[in-house]
Each structure stands twice: as C-alpha cells, then as structure tokens.
Amino acid sequence: MNATLGTAFVAIGLSASVAGLLSVAWGLATRSPVFVVRARGWVALLAVAAVGQVAVMERALITRDFTVAFVAEHGSHRTPALFNVATLWSALEGSILLWVLILVGYVVLVVRRFRHRLDDPVVGWTLLVLFVVCTFFFLLLAGPAFPFTRFEPWAGYDGPGPNPLLQNHVLMAFHPPVLYLGYVGFTVPFALAVASLVTGRLGEGWLLEARRWTLMAWGCLTVGILLGAWWSYEVLGWGGYWAWDPVENASFLPWLTGTAYLHSVMVQERLGMLRVWNLSLLCATFSLTILGTFITRSGVLESVHAFTESGIGPMLLGFFGLVVVTTVGLIAWRGDSMRTVGSIDSPVSRTAAFLVNNLLFGAFAFVVLLGTVFPLLVEAANGDRISVGNPYFERMTMPIGFALLFLMAVAPALPWGGTTGATMAGRLRWPAVAGAASMVLALGLGSRGWAPTLAVGLAGFSIGGAVRQLGMTVRSRGLRGLVGRSSGGMIVHIGVAVVAVAFACSSAFIRQAEFRFDQPGERAVFAGHELVFEGLTTVELSEKTEIRVSVRVDGRTYLPAISTFPFGSQTIGTPATRSTLRDDLQLAVLAVPDERSNTTIVRVTVQPLVAWLWVGGAVMALGTAFAAVPTTGGRRRRGADETVEGSPEGVTV
C-alpha cells in the first residue's frame, strides 16, 4: 500500500508543479496576474505531495515494509529507530525525496512571504523559476530516482540496513538535512536573481530580499558543512575532518560564492554598484549546487561518499546546462542595461576591500573547482588518470586563506570613502596588538613553523578588529546593538577566525602513532599520555557485533571498538574520543586478534584545538542568526520596490 500511496504522491507532485508552471507562465505571458495568484493552490498541492511522499517513505521504513524496494534495499529490522528514520537520506532516491521536501518548503515560504504581492511580475517570475526547479526534481523522482519501486519479499525477509558508516553516529541524522537546507535554500535567491534580470527591476528592496534568503541558506550550509566535518572526525577515526573529497568540495563551492555575495551585496546597497556581478554570484551559487549534485550522484568522479550510480547523471547535467544557458543568456542580454556608473574613490576604502574580498573568494572557488574537475579534464585531454590530492588544495588555498584573514581584520575598520594612514593606524592599533600578542602566546605554547603561527596571529588580528567594532557598537547603542547585520557579521568573523586557528593548529600539530598490544597490562607512552591495554570485550547488539578494546589513558578507560555488521560483512571502526578545549585524544582500533595473530593494534591521535572547530562553527551560526534579525532600518516594512531604481541609496544599518 505504501508503494501505491507513494507513487500517487509523486504523480500529484509532478502534476502540481507542471500545472503551477503553466499557470504562472500563462499569467506572465498574457499579463493576467490572476493566473499567477492561482499558483497558490498548486503550491498547496505541491506541499501535500512533498510531505505525503516523505511521510509514506518514513512509514514504510519504520514499519519495515519490504514491499517497497527502497526499504528492502536499505532498511532492516535490526536498524535502531533513529537511524531507521535517517535511512531516508542514506541512499539516492530517499535523498531526492528529502531534497524535494525542503525545496517545496522554501516555495511555501516564498508564497507566504510575498502573499500580498503575488501579482507583481518579479514575484511571478520568481515563482516561475521555482516551479521549473520543482518540476525538474519531480521528474527525477518520477524517472531515474523513482523511490517507490515494488519488491516481493518472501516470508522472513530482512534487508541489509543502511550503509554501516551511516548508522554509526547520531550526527548522521542531522548533517544531511541541515546541509540540504543550505544547499536547496540557494534556489530562492537564484529565482529572485533571474526574476530581477528578466524584469529589469533591480530595486534595492529586491536586493534585501535576496540577501535575506541567501543569509538563511548560507547559515544552514555553514552548519551543515561543519556537522559533516564533525561526523567524519568522530566516525572515521583518522584524526581528520576535511579531505578535499569531491563531495565535500561540492558543498564548499556554493559556500564560497555565497560568502562572496554576502559581502559584495553591501557595496550595491551602499553605492548601487556591482549589480550585475551580484546577480551573477547568485546564479553561480545555484549552478554550483546543481553541478555539485551532478558530481556527487552521477559517478563521474570517484569519491569516498558518492551515491550509487543511476541514470540521474545525464538529467542533472542537462539541467545544469539549462541553468548555465539561461543565466549566461540573461546576463549577456540584460547585463549592460543594468550597469551603474560608479567607480571606487580610493584604493584604501571599504569598497576596495570588498572587491579584493570578492577576488579572493572567486579565486578560492576557482582553485577548488579546478582541483575537483582537473582529473576529468586531464583524462579528456590525454587519457591519463590522475588524482588531485591534499597537497594541491593546501598549497593553493593557504595563501588565499591568509589573505582573507588579513582582510577580515582590516576591512571592517576601513571607511567607505578614502582614508589616511594616521586614521587607519589609530583604528588598527589594538587589533594589531591582539594579533601580535596571540602570535607570542602561540610561540610560547609551543607553536613551531611559520604557517600555524601566522594563522594564529592573523586570526588574533581579525578577532581584535571584530571585537573593536562590536565594542564601539555596544558603547553607542548598548547590548541591543549586538543584534543586526553588521554586528552579526562581526560575530561570524570571530567564528571564522576561531575555525581558522583550530584548522591550522590541529592539522599542523597532529601527532599520531600506532601501538601493538598482545597482553592485557601492556603499557605505552605517547605525547605525554600513558596508555594501558586492559583487554577486549565482545558485545552483541541487534544490528552489529562490537569488539571493544579497553585502553586506560591517564587514568580513564576508553572503549574504541570495531563493529561487524552481519550483512555485507563490513567491518568499521568506532573511535573513542576525549575532547577538551586544549586538545583531543582519539583512539581507533586498527586490528583485533584473529586466527593468525594475537595482536591488537590501536592508533592514537593527539590533536590540539579540534574542539574549537565546533565552537567556531557555533559562533558563526549565532552570528548569522543575529545578522538575520532586521535592524530598525530594515524593519520599516519597506515595500520591495520602494527604492527608486538606480538610486544609490540603500538600506543603511
């Protein structure tokens, strides 16, 4: 019954998207807004379908309805309840269901937000683009990613359960939905950008809308990426959290262009410049989410966490082509008429700093994209198979990272117009002192090598700069000044600097060793910690068999384990981590005794400051939330088109 019901919901969803698309298109073509307004009904139907199909699939997963092939292939009686729900996004078809649910959720929010302005052509075009995207994803569900294929299980059939790696940590239940909230969220600013390009209405009110939707998506993407890093750190046990894997890069690329947009949009608000550039950034961000999805799900690049392949690749590539042709065409066609005259007064001004910021983020995105697709380009050129590894990414992105940290310290102190050296010296004095002090502190604590020390110094510099800005705001407006976009932005800066320090130090000062133990009671000393091997215990759980290795470190017992899942004979490790603000100690079991040897091998990883990655991420999320709260300037319920087009007057904070 679930399969039938699910199929019905997919059909309803596809029909509603096509009907909505046609209705809005007809309304726009004949200039009859009533057809656009009517789209509300189709959106409601879309919502019913999107919620319905996910509910049906979750019901099938929870009740282990193996007549649905997706459940038979990925569900199991042995999977614990939480992971049973999360099984939805552990495989291709279910992940598209989640995608569609979030996409339709955003469409509902858009319709709600613009409910009084549905007859405005900008809203009409926005809805049209959203319906096109919805139609595409429902086509995926109806075609190559159809989730409700039937299966005939025999009596006593039990499925294999989701990939063991995905049912080993609670973060798996949260990382994909949050990541998708960000990823899919970029659809709305993209739709607004296309609508602006088509109608030629670039009033700064629309800009504010696009910025707000982007900020929301960006915040979720930030948290989603960091949750993913945290998950891989806790689950994989190799002491790392970021590997420049194509799938990771796919989520990082839109983050980079989205970040560039959030900065350059301020130039447009203030001076009316860079309009076409900003729209291009929004289009690029959305295109990169589609390209990233193609890379992740088509099997065109080999990756550790790519999905199983299916016929979804060509359709995604085709859609990417459509997006590129549409946006490039629109920008080429409309771009020139939207240009604004304006120039940068001074090379030492905040405007100039934003331009440099955009150049750096653009370069960063280019470097990551090139590194991701380079193996394919080389193979296309001469048939060689190469892989681009960490050294490329580290070498290429490190200077950009340093430059961005520096800019993060200096730019907030720069005025919009020109400035003098003396003014800047005054403004940057305390941040510079903070930077120098943090470098001295780092050296005192044992930092060696120029790169991590410089990273700490620059991070101290930019935290100093951000704190100075926050301090001035609080002094003039009290604690309430902390809420709002500029203060929120400064808080995000602090989070970024914290993440940068954690990243630099944890990767530069990682210490790792493997120890072999034969008998309980054997001891080893590593990085100032004493390890005592206490023995093994075997625990049988419903979904897996765990061999726990008991190791006493500094008087506390840790139980890293190796788990064997009965189906698929996969063996995966469950590391044990002791996390403090100073450093992390992680134990991972590499081998347990078997017929051939009696040796247990344990890998010990000691890394400083890892916990600060997650702290920094939380600070970034907090800052984003603060930045999303409208300040008094924005709260004046501006009509979207209130600002006269071409007016350099924007919303000031």
Partner 1 sequence: MNPIRMTALAVGLVLGLLILVFATRDTSRDRMTTHLVGAVAPAVVGVTLDGSEWDLDDQRGRWVVVNFFSTTCVPCIREHPELVAFAAAHAEADDVRLVTVAFDDSPSAVAAFFARNGGDWPVLTVDTGRVAVDWGVIGVPESYLVTPSGHVAAKVIGGVEMDELDGLLTRAMAAIS
Contacts of residue 358, Cβ cutoff 8 Å, sequence gap at least 6: 260, 263, 264, 277, 281
Residue 154 engages partner 1 in binding (rule: CB under 8 A)? yes
DSSP 150: B
Closest approach, Cβ 302 to partner 1, in A, equals: 5
- Binding pattern for the stretch 114-153 against partner 1, x by CB under 8 A and - elsewhere: -------------------------------------x--
Residue 314 engages partner 1 in binding (rule: CB under 8 A)? yes
Q: How many CB atoms lie within 10 A of CB 513?
A: 13
Nearer to partner 1, 17 or 280 (CB): 280
Closest approach, Cβ 299 to partner 1, in A, equals: 4
Closest approach, Cβ 621 to partner 1, in A, equals: 33
**Three-state SS for 609?**
coil
Among 24-32, 189-197, 306-314, 588-596, which window interacts with partner 1 (CB under 8 A)?
306-314
Name the strand (E) or helix (H) holding 600: strand 600-608
Closest approach, Cβ 380 to partner 1, in A, equals: 5
Name the strand (E) or helix (H) holding 278: helix 275-298
Q: Which residues, numbered 258-297, are part of the site for partner 1 (CB under 8 A)? A: 276, 280, 287, 294
Residue 373 engages partner 1 in binding (rule: CB under 8 A)? yes
Nearer to partner 1, 286 or 533 (CB): 286
Residue 568 engages partner 1 in binding (rule: CB under 8 A)? yes
Residue 69 engages partner 1 in binding (rule: CB under 8 A)? yes
Among 31, 115, 339, 582, binds partner 1 (CB under 8 A): 339
Which residues partner with 512 through β-bridges? 605
Contact 511, 462 (CB under 8 A): no
Question: How far, CA to CA in Å, does 183 sit from each of 88, 112, 124, 221, 224?
Answer: 18, 21, 23, 6, 9
Q: Using alpha carbons only, what angle is made at residue 498 by residues 493 and 502, rounded to the nearest 5 degrees?
A: 145
Residue 329 engages partner 1 in binding (rule: CB under 8 A)? yes
Nearer to partner 1, 146 or 567 (CB): 567
Residue 320 engages partner 1 in binding (rule: CB under 8 A)? yes
> What is the distance between the alpha carbons of residues 312 and 299, in angstroms, rounded to a whole number?
10
Residue 300 engages partner 1 in binding (rule: CB under 8 A)? yes
Residue 586 engages partner 1 in binding (rule: CB under 8 A)? no
Cα end-to-end distance, the chain, whole Å: 55
> What is the distance between the alpha carbons of residues 292 and 305, in angstroms, rounded to a whole number?
13
| Number of residues near partner 1 (by CB under 8 A) | 41
Helices (H), 148-236: 175-185, 187-199, 204-236
> What is the distance between the alpha carbons of residues 624 and 633, in angstroms, rounded to a whole number?
18
Q: Which residues, numbered 72-91, are part of the site for partner 1 (CB under 8 A)? A: 72-73
> What is the distance between the alpha carbons of residues 103 and 190, in angstroms, rounded to a whole number?
13
- Binding pattern for the stretch 226-265 against partner 1, x by CB under 8 A and - elsewhere: ----------------------------------------
Residue 489 engages partner 1 in binding (rule: CB under 8 A)? no
Residue 331 engages partner 1 in binding (rule: CB under 8 A)? yes
Contact 86, 175 (CB under 8 A): no
Residue 376 engages partner 1 in binding (rule: CB under 8 A)? yes
Name the strand (E) or helix (H) holding 260: helix 246-271
Among 26, 34, 359, 379, binds partner 1 (CB under 8 A): 379
**Three-state SS for 562?**
strand
Closest approach, Cβ 267 to partner 1, in A, equals: 17
Residue numbers at the binding site for partner 1 (CB under 8 A): 69, 72-73, 151, 154, 158-160, 276, 280, 287, 294, 298-302, 309, 313-314, 317, 320-321, 324-325, 328-329, 331-333, 335-336, 339, 373, 376-377, 379-380, 567-569
